Amino acid sequence: GNMAEALVAGWLSGGRAQAEEVVICEPVAERRAYWQATYGVRVSAENTDALAGTELVLLAVKPQTMAAALSGLSSAAYTGIWVSIAAGVPTERLGRSLGGDSRLIRVMPNTPALVGAGISALCRGGCASEADLAIACGLFEAVGEVLVVEESEIDAVTAVSGSGPAYFFRLVEAMAEGGVALGLSPEKAMRLAAGTLTGAGRLLAQSGVDAAELRRRVTSPGGTTAAALGVMAAADFAGIVVRAELAAAERSRELSGQG
């Protein structure tokens, strides 16, 4: 999928792997041809080919297809590192499927990794060592920041950063809708909204100033920003966001309990 491609592209462009070292296991012939033509990597239709001579296997499949992807694979035949980016699949469940002393790393990335600006949370499971975790962190640093967490925190991570880009995009949409209501063309409104939030994110990341202080610096008493924030406060904007994250975390827990 897109995340796997972002990772592979980041590894190759950053010199963390050579094309001949990467094996892509893909059941669809057209996709195999694409991978080979675009990145020069080795390709195969058989998942077991990923085990031959590789140090790490990335499990980049949908949770509902994980069982099929793992069919025929066993840690008894593979002693390298397993890294999973499948949402809602705990390392304990992966360990049951793989058997043996699996070296498991679970990762929750997010879609800004597609432009090298993601943040990925990683945790150890199974028999993975600190050295294994360090290797995985190095790979995900190719597409953004990394944060080491406990697996018990993954549901919260999913709610904040895994699903978080969608909250950002929804806010962009809402701000653009407001611009249109005020008479701007949809194109101008979207450009202003997207550019403002993207720039604000960069300011937060690069200034070293926390979000609350940056907000205060924009807000003059009795001014336009204060009027807007007053409406947000009256509608419990912060509470809505928190409740949304709680719902995402609860759904993540439900998915983790399935299977």
Tell me the pLDDT tens digit for each residue of 83-100: 999 988 999 999 888 876
- Coil vs helix vs strand at 56: strand
Backbone angles phi, psi at 89, to 5 degrees: -120, 100
**Model confidence pLDDT, tens digit, residues 211-245:** 999 999 999 999 999 999 999 999 999 999 999 99
How many other CB atoms sit within 10 Å of the CB of residue 148?
13
The CA-atom distances, in angstroms, between 170 and each of 33, 47, 128, 177, 218 are 35, 37, 38, 10, 22
Say if residue 75's pLDDT is above 70. Answer: no
Share of the chain above pLDDT 90, in %: 75
Distance CA 73, CA 54 (A): 14
Residue 159 belongs to a domain = no
CA distance 245 to 128: 30
The confidence score (pLDDT) of residue 149 equals 98
Same domain for 63 and 12, yes or no, is yes
pTM confidence score: 0.90
Q: What is the mean pLDDT of residues 7-31?
A: 91
Look at residue 100 in the predicted model and tell me its pLDDT: 66
Instruction: Compute the mean pLDDT over every residue in the chain, rounded to the nearest whole number.
Output: 93
Q: What is the CATH number of the domain that holds 217?
A: 1.10.3730.10
Q: Are residues 38 and 77 in the same domain?
A: yes
The span from the CA of 229 to the CA of 204, in Å, is: 18
Range 132-147 average pLDDT = 96
Q: Which domain holds residue 136?
A: 2-154
pLDDT at 258: 63
Query: For the ranges 69-78, 148-157, 173-182, 191-200, which has the lowest average pLDDT?
Result: 69-78
User: Is 140 in the same domain as 241?
Assistant: no
- Collapse the DSSP code of 2 into the 3-class scheme (helix H, G, I; strand E, B; otherwise coil) and give the result: helix
Together in a domain, 138 and 175? no
Position 145 scores a pLDDT of 97
The count of structural domains within the chain is 2
Q: Around Cβ 139, how many Cβ atoms within 10 Å?
A: 23
Task: Kindly indicate the confidence band of residue 53, based on its pLDDT and cuts at 50, 70 and 90.
Answer: confident
Q: Which CATH number fits the domain that encloses residue 28?
A: 3.40.50.720
Angle, vertex CA 19, rays to CA 87 and CA 105, nearest 5: 30
Same domain, 8 and 90: yes
Res 166: pLDDT = 97
Q: Are residues 136 and 27 in the same domain?
A: yes
CA–CA separation, 178 vs 97, rounded Å? 50
Regarding predicted confidence, which is higher, 88 or 151?
151
What's the pLDDT tens digit per position in 100-121? Answer: 689 999 999 999 998 999 999 9
